[in-house]
Amino acid sequence: IVLTQSPGTLSLSPGERATLSCRASQSVSGNSLVWYQQKPGQAPRLLIYGASTRATDIPDRFIAGGSGTDFTLTISGLEPEDFAMYYCQQYGGSEYTFGQGTKLEIK
């Protein structure tokens, strides 16, 4: 299953709302869609699992949803620490695959 993320880069200002998309080439089984955040020089950090459940200590400004082949991550009221790379990931066909990422940058 191929995951396509859009946009490639999103330029916004602190306080604005970001909407990130992840589209799968086939339906994602059991809604096992996951989102990670990655900052330069760091490992990815789990944000969302099961398509919509926030991981431990993730603020409630991160809201995710979707099903089947279309998934969205929304970040409301961007904080300076939210500007980073975001990747979606799924499990299917005995393999885990990741999207190519969306870069959220400060405008």
Partner 1 sequence: QVQLVQSGAEVKEPGASVKISCKASGYMFTAYHMHWVRQAPEQGPEWLGMVHPFNGGTNYRQKFQGRVTMTRDTSTGTVYMELSGLRSEDTAIYYCARELPPSLYFDFWGQGTQVTVSS
Binding positions for partner 1, rule: CB under 8 A: 30, 32, 34, 36, 43-46, 49, 55, 87, 89, 91, 94-101
Q: In the complex with partner 1, which residue's Cβ is closer, 15 or 41?
A: 41
> E-assigned strands of 1-107?
3-6, 9-12, 18-24, 34-38, 45-49, 53-54, 62-67, 70-75, 85-92, 95-98, 102-106
Q: In the complex with partner 1, which residue's Cβ is closer, 52 or 77?
A: 52
Q: In the complex with partner 1, which residue's Cβ is closer, 54 or 77?
A: 54
Angle, vertex CA 60, rays to CA 83 and CA 16, nearest 5: 45
Pairing of strands 95-98, 85-92: antiparallel
Q: Shortest gap between Cβ of 92 and partner 1 (angstroms)?
A: 9
Q: Shortest gap between Cβ of 43 and partner 1 (angstroms)?
A: 4
Q: Shortest gap between Cβ of 81 and partner 1 (angstroms)?
A: 18
Chain mean position to CA 94: 21
